[in-house]
A and B are shown apart, each in its own frame.
Chain A
Amino acid sequence: MTAFDADLSGFVTHKPGEADRLELLVRGARCAACMARIEKAAAAVRGVEQARLNLSTGKLSVTFRAGKADPARVVHAVEAAGYTTTLFDPESAIQTRDAEGRRLTLALGVAGFGAGNVMMFSVPVWAGLFGQELTPSARALMYWASAIIATPCALHAGMVFFQSAWNSLRRGRANMDVPISIGVILTLIVSFSETIQGGRHAYFDAAVTLLFLLLIGRWLDHKLRARALNAARDLLALQAPIARRLDADGTEHGVPVAKVAVGELVSVTPGERVPLDGQVTEGFSSLDNALITGETAPLPVEPGSIVHAGALNMDGRLLVRVQARAEDSALAAIARLMEAGAQTKSAYVRLADRAASIYVPVVHSLALATFVGGWVLGLGPREALLRAAAVLIITCPCALGLAVPAVQIAASARLFRKGVLVKSGAALERLAEVDTVVLDKTGVLTQGRPDLIDPPTAMLAPAAQLARASRHPLALALVRKAGPGPVCVDAREVAGLGVMGLVDGRPARLGRAAFLDLNNVDASESELWFGFEGETSVRFQFADRLRHDATATVTALRKRGLSVEILSGDVERAVARAAEGAGISKWRAHLAPIEKSKAIDDLKADGCKVLMVGDGLNDAAALSRAHASIAPGAAIDASQNAADLVFEGDGLMAIVQAIDISRAARARALENFGFSALYNVVAAPMAIFGLVNPFFAAIAMSGSSLVVTLNALRMHWAGRN
């Protein structure tokens, strides 16, 4: 968002008895110095009581002294310090506190406390198992002490699993938490009955240690998702922002887009995005539709033109009469497609759940068979139940519970160091499965910005003097090529046409062909003309160039057995050129956003698992419908939000690295499952034949978890070399 001069009081939350409060998302803060600078800048604004930045989430909370709230000044101050900001819609800001994370941290702490302290009483019992002197009454004392510590801890820490198991059972499915919950509860009941009857086999320590190990896995998984959630929240930057509504008295008010009614007037200054669909009533400008349609050429608009929400206004102030409410706009139609895509993605069954669907019935029938079989064969109900419980606890799912999260956190940390942000563990799993890669052209294969090609060198320096007076993307490209230098005198920009001014004392013009009265040339949108008054004009041509490693990336993807194609919204000529440059033979051009997502659906119907790489708003729907998706860090927020992974930097090779690492992660996870299965094949018979004692259970459980974690760490070490 650009600095805003209109009234923004609609974004301040008022709660009786509390200070007025404003929440901003600040981007670009990385270190202690940034944090201090931002907080100081915000706190220096008149009326601000306190400003505090959360560096982990990028959220700046500002409280105001009573009746002094002036949010626009705070936005100004922070942006003047050099950071971009986004206002939170007050309603959505409430949900940003990470309640789930706090609950898991607390449960982890409680389980850790229980597991550690119960050992104090478990070690004497184990010593008793190995012939050390331990009278039955002393053992009963140890067990009672264990019960007093372990039971409340297990019930508190286990609540996370009990609730999830209950929810899953109510929907008629059994997830991993069902055997965990049954195992923990049954173990506690059996242990109490053993303790009361003076028996030798109580497993209080096992129950709470199991929960501790499982919670580590759960906590890691949550951490991974929480980091991604922060990235996803940036969608608000596109959807909740502000429209400058022009009221009847001629004053501008910044209001949430949702509050603008059809027929009202909004103004759009250069550098802002059009907030809502509508018709231009006043002003001339050109619009950058690259992120909406994928077209690279700017589109000139004048009174009467129809404009779509999301287009970037480049050079003139426009007044737009709103024709559709926010939820009816073209943008909202794309958002609905994205929502539908997200639903199909949530139906994806994760590796761990697939493992659970095999594990749960096998282990439960085994435990039941042990109980029934043991009773029938004359063990008596007490011993039979004890062995059944031993089966449940020894075939412990903690290796399974850790197998995937430990690998995925190591994989995502490795990708993070390479500048790739992974939004969820499921995303990594889906990415490992893809067989087709669909690339967008503008902004993915190409840089997404025009570059000057083969300039007439003699005229570059004088033309750049005019170009420096404009913010038009073609002018910026010209300046980039020319480097630093003087600005012309008496510069005047005519919106949508060009710039005129005095260069070295002579009047000159830079702009469209029509601006220089050249009517008989073959004019195109991706060129500028420059000429001194009365002299012949020269042409500067611009093109959107391929990224430097586009061709290498396509080759590398092919080498991994992936088929590559392009789906673009740009005109045929431009797409054909890019496809040829990158060495891709399958491409389609001129696709509307809906057609793009339709094309993805068709590929899916053919049995392909598609990886979509896209950056524009026109890709957002396709990104959310594809099996897996990646967006560059320069992409529009909606696309970053829809994508599973986001990569930084100029190169496309990150896509190849992400695929490699996700495949390695999948291999590690499968190895871990293999190990868990092997361990259970050995351990389960021991439990069935009554060979397990509390000491063995404790060693086996932590040992298997340790092996699984070490295997996951190979992922981490591999990245170091």
Chain B
Amino acid sequence: MSETWVIVEQRDGNIRKATFEMLSEAKKIGDEVGAVVFGKNVEGLAPEFAKYGADKVYVVEGDLFAEYNTGAYVAQLAAMIAEYKPNAVFFAHTFNGRDFASRLAQKLEAGLATDAIAVELSAGKGVFTRAIYAGKAIAKVEVATSPVLATIRAGVMEVAEAAGAGAVVKPAIAATDADVYQNIKSFVPTVSARPDLTEAETVVSGGRGCKGPDGIKLVENLADMLGAAVGGSRASIDSGWLGHELQVGQTGKVVCPNLYIAAGISGAIQHLAGMSSSKFIAAINTDPEAPIFNVSDFGVVSDLFKVIPTLCTELKK
């Protein structure tokens, strides 16, 4: 039976939710599902993947794979693809996932659909829906090279538990030290108690209407109360109120949380591109004509400096 592979995203044993989303999506296709996990001492994670439908768990362990590095990971995965011939391989559309998939695709002289938001897979062929112009339009693309390669956007596919056998497979190690060309000097994790912007269930974003750090503080307070990620429009990033990695929009992150709250954001088209596929959208803005209201499920025409503190009190009740 042909297999659909999912490349696990994990760091220090913490598995990204995108992995489970991809496993659940792969399970729907009906082929055998293989989770491929790279790392050091990662075999113990296998039952986690079985819970979401992995029939097999390919465990690639060793010092060489302790941290993501393109050269060794690509050499190893290419060898595994040659040996096991999966029908399709899915990667998360993270920085690592797209780097991995792109270099592998070129090594195999294959097509690749990145940032897919819908998947139709059959033997030897995949049709993927992709957002283009940061979501202002969509394109359906067909990849018919083998294996079918795609990176999948986080937060779009539903996670569903489904029992899989989770049989551990230990492929031959084909990569060597000579394959490594990125000498990693350090990795400093972002120190934040808040969830990752692209994986958060709820995102609270602040824009020009926040007027400065005090307004952003209100946004952060609300976010923390909801266990949400904080984001910003270009205005608040360019003003230096928030770091660039928190920008939502066409030149920043594209997010699709369950709830997106836009505070003091007028809704420039470049911002809307990054958040309008959120399930629920609420907006607080003093300008009743602000374009953000055109995409909002719940719009509040009022002053965020007055609304947010009261909102926090109301939510605590």
Is A bound to B? Answer: no
